Amino acid sequence: MKQKLIIAGALVLLFAIVGLMVWDFYYESKTEGNPYEYDISNLKIIDEKEFCYKKIGEINPQIEEAYCIAIDENDDIFIAGKNKVLIFDKAGNRKKTFNIFEAAKCIAVGTDGNIFVGMKNHIEVFDPSGSLIMQWQKINQKAYITSIAVEDESVFVADAGNKMVYHFNYSGQLINSIGEKKETEFPGFIIPSPHFDLAIGREGQLWVVNPGKHEFLAFNKNGDLFSGWARTSMQLDGFCGCCNPGNIALLHDGSFVTSEKGIERIKIHYPSGDYKCVVAGPDSFEEGTTHIDLAVNSEDKILVLDSENGMVFMFDEK
């Protein structure tokens, strides 16, 4: 009899514990919120003194799925999206439109005026009038091209799908690949999502973002890594999340213009990597915007393509 009472008491105690757990999970958590959820709302509030640029104009390109932007040596503005490229002068007046054959992922313009448009897995080259010159061979089915940079006779292509950067000549012939894993020198790019940007530096070096490590790496044209910097921080002085910065551009003094997702903002970092100031904060973008492309003209004005609303904004120093 005594054993039965002990068993009954144990069952009552067990049901009571289970009941408390259920109450805590379904009721208390609803009122108190998730204690493990990290609140980043305070990080989206930026003091006005941090801003060193101001918006001076905007362009509504009226193009479906506006996604990428580039500027040529004449400061003409090239905006590409679904099946179309639009060209504007530096004042924002439309000059030309030509069709492409699928959605553009990135765009760049050579010194000769030829226009390089990155599709998902290949490059298409157009002359200044918009006529197709060449369609390069597809890289492979895994490819996801995210950025192009052109210098002299070299074309550098970032491929987030294969986690590689390719160095082509103007005819689309592969010269070398950058990003092979080397145990003692380079562990490879970490790219959790299709955000993988690159740009040519003022001394001809190739700057490539390693987004999974919030890192900027400088390579020579042979693919040798010789410099770099990283800034991981939840604050303004660095980058956070799985893959930031998403896009970059370079000012003429070598400073980096960067855009981020998660905390939608555009900042400037000195050539050393140290934080300088803010161009635009989260208030300038819809929450959840994941792709903010960047370009810089000859006067160091910063052009920002907000893919969420299809608008282009121009910023200048205060």
Same domain, 150 and 15: no
Task: Record the pTM.
Answer: 0.86
Q: Could you give the number of structural domains in the chain?
A: 2
Tokens of 278: 């803010």
Residue 279 has pLDDT above 60, yes or no: yes
Same domain, 286 and 156: yes
Same domain, 258 and 220: yes
With residue 30 as reference, give the H or E element that holds it. Answer: helix 29-32
Beta bridge partners of 83: none
% of the chain residues with pLDDT over 90:
82
- Neighbouring residues of 217: CB distance < 8 A, sequence distance ≥ 6: 207, 208, 209, 210, 225, 227, 228
Q: How many residues does the chain have?
A: 318
Same domain, 129 and 15: no
Same domain, 144 and 288: yes
pLDDT tens profile 280-309: 999 999 999 999 999 999 999 999 999 999
- How far CA 42 is from CA of 231, 235, 277, 284, in Å, comes to 20, 10, 18, 16
Rounded Cα gap, residues 180 and 159, in angstroms: 13
Same domain, 115 and 197: yes
Q: Are 286 and 309 in contact (CB under 8 A)?
A: yes
Residue with tokens 């960067």: 258
Same domain, 75 and 181: yes
Q: Share the mean pLDDT of the chain.
A: 89
% of the chain residues with pLDDT over 70:
86
Q: Are 206 and 220 in contact (CB under 8 A)?
A: yes
Q: Are 84 and 64 in contact (CB under 8 A)?
A: yes
Same domain, 33 and 51: no
Q: What are phi and psi of 6, to 5 degrees?
A: -65, -45
Parent domain of 234: 46-317
Kindly report whether the peptide bond that precedes residue 245 is cis, defined as omega within 30 degrees of 0.
Answer: yes
Check which CATH number belongs to the domain holding 295 and give it.
2.120.10.30
Same domain, 24 and 76: no
Same domain, 2 and 130: no
